[in-house]
A and B are shown apart, each in its own frame.
Chain A
Amino acid sequence: MAMIQLGAVFFGLGLLGRVARRAGISPIPLYLIGGLAFGHGGFVPLHGIEEFTHIASEIGVVLLLLLLGLEYSASELTTGLKKSWMAGVLDLVLNSAPGAIAAYLLGWGTVGALAMAGVTYISSSGIVAKVLGDLGRLGNRETPVVLSVLVFEDLAMAVYLPVLTAVLAGVSFIGGLTSVGISLLAITVVLVVALKYGRFISAIVDSPDHEVFLLKLLGSALLVAGIASQLQVSAAVGAFLLGIAISGSTAENATRLLEPLRDLFAAMFFVVFGLNTDPRSIPPVLGIAVALAAVTTATKVFTGWWAAKRQGIGKMGRMRAGVALVARGEFSIVIAGLAVASGQVHNDLAALATAYVLLMAILGPIAAKYVEPIGEFFQRRRQMA
Chain B
Amino acid sequence: MICVNVEITPLPGIGTRQDFTIRAGRRVGVITYRDGRFELILSKATDPDSCAASIPLSPEEAGTLAGLLGAPQLVAHLREETRDIAGITTRQLPVTAFANRTLGETALRTRTSVSVVAVVRAGNAHPSPGPDFLFENGDLAVVVGTAEGLDAAAEILHGG
Q: Give which listed residue, A80, A147, A317, contacts B50 with CB less than 8 A.
A: A317
Is B39 touching A314 in the complex (CB atoms < 8 A)?
no
Is A141 touching B48 in the complex (CB atoms < 8 A)?
yes
Instruction: Mark each residue of chain B from 34 to 69: 1 if its CB lies under 8 Å from any CB of chain A, else 0.
Output: 110001010100011111011000000000000000
Is A139 touching B47 in the complex (CB atoms < 8 A)?
no
- The verdict on A42 contacting chain B, using a C-beta distance below 8 Å, is no
Within 8 Å CB of A71, what residues of B?
A: 12-13
Instruction: Mark each residue of chain A from 188 to 203: 1 if its CB lies under 8 Å from any CB of chain B, else 0.
Output: 0000000000000000
- The verdict on A144 contacting chain B, using a C-beta distance below 8 Å, is yes
Within 8 Å CB of B91, what residues of A?
A: none
Within 8 Å CB of A314, what residues of B?
A: 47-49
User: Which residues in chain A, 68-95, are within 8 Å of chain B measured between CB atoms?
Assistant: 71-72, 76-77, 79-80
- The verdict on A330 contacting chain B, using a C-beta distance below 8 Å, is no
Asked if A76 meets B13 with Cβ closer than 8 Å, knowing A139-B39, A314-B47, A317-B47, the reply is: yes
From residue B18, how far is it (CB to closest CB) to chain A in Å? 10
Cβ-closest chain A residue relative to B54? A136
- The verdict on A263 contacting chain B, using a C-beta distance below 8 Å, is no
Cβ-closest chain B residue relative to A77? B12
Q: Which of A138, A148, A151, A313 has the most CB of B within 10 A?
A: A138
**Interchain CA distance A76-B14 in the complex, whole Å:** 11
Q: How large is the interface on B (under 10, 10 to 19, 20 to 34, 35 or more residues)?
A: 20 to 34
Cβ-closest chain B residue relative to A71? B13
From residue A279, how far is it (CB to closest CB) to chain B in Å? 35
User: Which residues in chain A, 133-178, are within 8 Å of chain B measured between CB atoms?
Assistant: 133, 136-144, 147-148, 150-151
**Interchain CA distance A80-B54 in the complex, whole Å:** 25
Is B51 touching A140 in the complex (CB atoms < 8 A)?
yes
- The verdict on A129 contacting chain B, using a C-beta distance below 8 Å, is yes
Q: Give which listed residue, B14, B48, B54, contacts A147 with CB less than 8 A.
A: B14
**Interchain CA distance A56-B79 in the complex, whole Å:** 67
From residue A78, how far is it (CB to closest CB) to chain B in Å? 11
- The verdict on B134 contacting chain A, using a C-beta distance below 8 Å, is no
- The verdict on A252 contacting chain B, using a C-beta distance below 8 Å, is yes
Within 8 Å CB of B9, what residues of A?
A: 144
Label chain B's interface by main secondary structure: strand
- The verdict on B10 contacting chain A, using a C-beta distance below 8 Å, is yes
Asked if A140 meets B49 with Cβ closer than 8 Å, knowing A80-B12, A147-B12, the reply is: yes
Is B35 touching A252 in the complex (CB atoms < 8 A)?
yes
Q: How many residues on the A side are at the interface (Cβ–Cβ under 8 A)?
A: 29
Label chain A's interface by main secondary structure: helix
**Interchain CA distance A76-B9 in the complex, whole Å:** 11
Q: Which of A140, A148, A314 has the most CB of B within 10 A?
A: A140
Within 8 Å CB of A96, what residues of B?
A: none
Within 8 Å CB of A125, what residues of B?
A: 13
Q: Which of B10, B12, B50 has the most CB of A within 10 A?
A: B12
Within 8 Å CB of A298, what residues of B?
A: none
Within 8 Å CB of A320, what residues of B?
A: 49-50
From residue A316, how far is it (CB to closest CB) to chain B in Å? 5
Asked if A144 meets B17 with Cβ closer than 8 Å, knowing A136-B54, A252-B34, the reply is: yes
Is A139 touching B29 in the complex (CB atoms < 8 A)?
yes
What are 7 A-B pairs with beta-carbon distances under 8 A?
A71-B12, A138-B11, A139-B39, A143-B17, A147-B13, A317-B49, A317-B50
Other than A138-B41, A139-B43, A317-B47, give 13 A-B pairs with Cβ distance below 8 A: A125-B13, A139-B19, A139-B41, A139-B51, A139-B54, A140-B49, A140-B50, A141-B27, A141-B50, A150-B12, A150-B13, A252-B34, A320-B49
The residues of B with any CB-CB pair to A shorter than 8 Å are: 9-14, 17, 19, 27, 29, 31, 34-35, 39, 41, 43, 47-51, 53-54
The residues of A with any CB-CB pair to B shorter than 8 Å are: 71-72, 76-77, 79-80, 125, 129, 133, 136-144, 147-148, 150-151, 252, 313-314, 316-317, 320, 372
Smallest CB-CB A-B distances: 10 pairs: A139-B41, A317-B49, A71-B13, A141-B49, A76-B12, A139-B51, A136-B54, A147-B12, A139-B54, A151-B12
